[in-house]
Structure 1
Amino acid sequence: MDMTTVQHQPPKALSRAQERKLMEYVEDHFLEITRNFKKRSDVSSTLQTLSSYLTATHTLMSIILQIPPVNPSGSLRVTLLLRLTGDALSAIPGYKPDVETLPTLLDWLNDLDRGWLAVLRSQVWDTKSRTGIDISGEDSSSAQIPLQSPTMSQTERTRLRSLIIGGTSTMEEWLVELDTGGQDYDLVLQTLGLQQGFDDLFAGTLAEMGSFSGIMNMPEGMTGTC
């Protein structure tokens, strides 16, 4: 995926009031999702199905990705997206896989992959294209200047790599439980046109982290759609 640079007003870090409001919103949603996931077998849960879980967490993903990639907000975006990634990759195998939901799941995972690419590249998240975009501003001499947040630390990259590798490995085992009517699940995925997508999970993020030499790698205006 090529990075795109557009002329746009440079993003601004969240104010303390905006950050506090955002954290309250995000924390409430994390708690609500966790609570309903734990009781997913109960009729009172709002997350009884994988589809409902993906919808709820997709909204949260979008909010997190829209945090401005400038100090000090950029670090908050990394922290929250790591938390969401860990929670989701652990929770998804807690549901029974079904053929009807797999395309939605793959779309969700691809959005997360593109989201991490945006974070790793310190890009602004564009909700329409669902990709990261380089934003250039102008200084007093009208020269273009890149707007960057601090790069992810080695610890954060190592944590992300561990989550992705562990999560995809668990998902491979989980997909074997797919009800395929006796057919090989790989054949079913091929028939659905999903085999390559699941084989290439997080390929973009892992490739981007590998490019780092020596490293193992609700404010106004935010919406809940990636």
Structure 2
Amino acid sequence: MTKLPTLTAYLNAMRKLLAFILQIPPIDPSTHLRTTFLLRLTGDVMTSVPGYPPQMKEFQMLLDFLDDLDQAWSAVLKSQVWDPAAGEGVDVIVPVDEIIPGNLPMRSSPVSQTERTRLHSLLVTGTAGLEEWMTGLNTSEEDYQMALQRAGLLQGFDDLFSATLSEMGT
């Protein structure tokens, strides 16, 4: 359904979108916007990737992107700002001399239970969809798990979204 001809092109486009979304600060009223956009991107990725033919040469790039998405969700769940240089979330620190008495305090609303439930559902169903998709990999009569093991990628796929799921307590 996408106009991007290869999984590599698709992931490159999604990486730019992810970087843009992560620039949204985790400070109200923007907090909900960042979560909403990241949920949308996650849903799109998890449903679009299986639309491409599975090719071993693209799996490392896919794994790297999904790891970035996992780190992004971990930061969002912790209400952290994104440090693009480090590729991780960092706590918001407001110097005392920048706090103006009488102004409304800065707030960061946590991810709602509804959004957490939606995220959990996207990750579980999306991961199952990716596993089913990988069974279509042409691997010379060995199953896709053996091919991933041989390529050194199996552990990465087994650990998909481990930081996010851990942060959510599941």
Question: Could you state the TM-score of these two structures normalised by the residue count of structure 2?
Answer: 0.92
SS of the counterpart of 1:188? helix
* Equivalence for 1:68: 25
**Separation in structure 2 between the aligned mates of residue 115 and residue 135 of structure 1, nearest angstrom:** 15
* Equivalence for 1:78: 35
Structure 1 residue corresponding to 2:89, chosen from 128, 132, 147: 132
* Equivalence for 2:123: 164
Q: 1:199 to 1:182 in 2, by over 3 A?
A: same
User: Are the counterparts in 2 of residues 124 and 133 from structure 1 also a CA contact under 8 Å?
Assistant: yes
**Separation in structure 1 between the aligned mates of residue 80 and residue 112 of structure 2, nearest angstrom:** 17
**Separation in structure 2 between the aligned mates of residue 90 and residue 107 of structure 1, nearest angstrom:** 17
**Correspondence 1:194 to 2:153:** yes
Structure 1 residue corresponding to 2:141, chosen from 176, 182, 193: 182
* Equivalence for 1:117: 74
User: Deviation at 1:136?
Assistant: 1.2
Give unmatched runs, 5+ long, in structure 1. Answer: 1-37, 211-216, 218-226
What pairs up with 1:203-222 in 2 under 5 angstroms?
203-210=162-169
**Separation in structure 2 between the aligned mates of residue 55 and residue 148 of structure 1, nearest angstrom:** 33
User: Deviation at 1:141?
Assistant: 9.9
**Correspondence 1:108 to 2:70:** no
* Equivalence for 1:92: 49
Number of aligned positions between the proteins: 165
Alpha-carbon RMSD across the aligned residues, in angstroms, is 1.8
**Separation in structure 2 between the aligned mates of residue 132 and residue 105 of structure 1, nearest angstrom:** 21
One-letter code of the match for 2:10?
Y
**Correspondence 1:154 to 2:113:** yes
User: Deviation at 1:135?
Assistant: 2.3
The answer to which structure has the higher helix fraction is 2
Give unmatched runs, 5+ long, in structure 2. Answer: 100-105
- Structure 1 stretches (4+) deviating beyond 3 angstroms? none
> Cα deviation per residue 1:1-58 (whole Å; 9 max; x = unaligned)?
xxxxxxxxxxxxxxxxxxxxxxxxxxxxxxxxxxxxx2x5xxxx3x111111000011
